[in-house]
């Protein structure tokens, strides 16, 4: 009797295992899916990365520093206006402007400005991407340039705006929203006091308007 019960138990367990394997074989299995993000989603990720620098980058420091390549950066607590943009693209969109600008300058060096005070004979990955004038050329060469207007609605969240500050200083910022007075665009930038929100000053010359939101693939699982 005991042997009979053991045999019955083994047969039952064998059948249970077989039925489980059959169910697994026929059940839909999760598949790795890749989807393309919308432009607005990419803009939101860029802005979140830019806003995350507020309160963390508190020092304006334009000093030349040797940094690693690619993915190099100066200490987060310091930087200039372009560093806000560089960090936002790297963190928010996994887009390394240091690498992209250097690669483009390496094949089109004569298309980029080379001010006498820079004295360059070849690209310099320590500083090229941190210069607003170089970023302007890069974005234009990527087909990201848009018309410069004085209409608030033309400046969408995630857009880049370049301007000339007093003292003939190039400046760049990221449009955040239209939360300024009368619906004026607000920007994220570092204009000497660390990364912060400000209202876009249309009283200053606008030298460029760009929308550069490279497509990224988002991985997930579907059934």
pLDDT in tens, 118-137: 999 999 999 999 999 999 99
Write a three-state SS string for the chain.
CHHHHHHHHHHHHHHHHHHHHHHHHHCCCCEEEEEECCHHHHHHHHHHHHHCCCCCCCEECCCCCCCCCCCCCCCCCEECHHHHHHHHHHHHHCCCHHHHHHHHHHHCHHHCCCCCCCCCCCCCCCCHHHCHHHHHHHHHHCCCECCCCCCHHHCCCCCEEEEEECCCEEEEEEEEECCCHHHCCEEEEECCCCEEEEECCCCCCEEEEECCCCCCEEEEEEC
CA 35, chain centre distance (Å): 18
pLDDT at 215: 87
Q: Residue 154, Cβ neighbours under 10 Å: how many?
A: 14
Q: What is the pTM of this model?
A: 0.83
Residue with tokens 């619906």: 183
pLDDT in tens, 36-75: 899 999 999 999 999 999 999 999 999 999 999 999 999 9
- Going by pLDDT thresholds of 50, 70 and 90, the confidence category of residue 33 is low
Contacts of residue 21, Cβ cutoff 8 Å, sequence gap at least 6? none
pLDDT at 12: 45
pLDDT in tens, 74-105: 999 999 999 999 999 999 999 999 999 999 99
How high is the mean pLDDT of the chain?
88
pLDDT at 32: 57
Domains and CATH numbers, the chain: 31-94+143-222 (3.90.1720.10)
* pLDDT greater than 80 at residue 18: no
pLDDT at 221: 44
Q: Residue 53, Cβ neighbours under 10 Å: how many?
A: 22
What are the tokens at 15?
């059948």
pLDDT at 17: 47
pLDDT at 28: 58
* pLDDT greater than 70 at residue 116: yes
pLDDT in tens, 161-172: 999 999 999 999
CA 177, chain centre distance (Å): 17
């Amino acid at each position: 009797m005991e042997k009979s019960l053991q045999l019955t138990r083994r047969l039952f367990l064998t059948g249970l295992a077989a039925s489980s394997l059959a169910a697994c074989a026929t059940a839909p299995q999760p598949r790795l899916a890749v989807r393309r993000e919308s432009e607005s989603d990419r803009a939101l990720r860029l802005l979140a990365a830019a806003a995350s620098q507020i309160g963390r980058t508190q020092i304006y420091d334009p000093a030349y520093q040797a940094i690693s390549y690619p993915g190099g950066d100066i200490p987060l607590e310091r930087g200039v206006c372009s560093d806000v943009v560089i960090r936002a693209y790297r963190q928010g969109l996994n887009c390394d402007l240091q690498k992209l600008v250097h690669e483009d300058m390496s094949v089109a060096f004569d298309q980029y400005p080379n001010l006498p005070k820079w004295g360059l004979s070849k690209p310099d990955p320590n500083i090229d991407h941190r210069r607003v004038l170089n970023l302007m050329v890069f974005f234009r060469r990527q087909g990201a340039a848009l018309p410069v207007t004085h209409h608030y609605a033309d400046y969408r969240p995630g857009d880049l705006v370049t301007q000339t500050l007093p003292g003939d200083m190039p400046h760049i910022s990221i449009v955040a929203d239209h939360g300024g007075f009368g619906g004026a665009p607000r920007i994220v930038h570092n204009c000497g006091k660390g990364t912060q929100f400000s209202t876009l000053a249309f009283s200053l010359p606008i030298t460029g308007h760009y929308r550069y939101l490279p497509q990224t693939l988002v991985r997930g699982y579907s059934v």
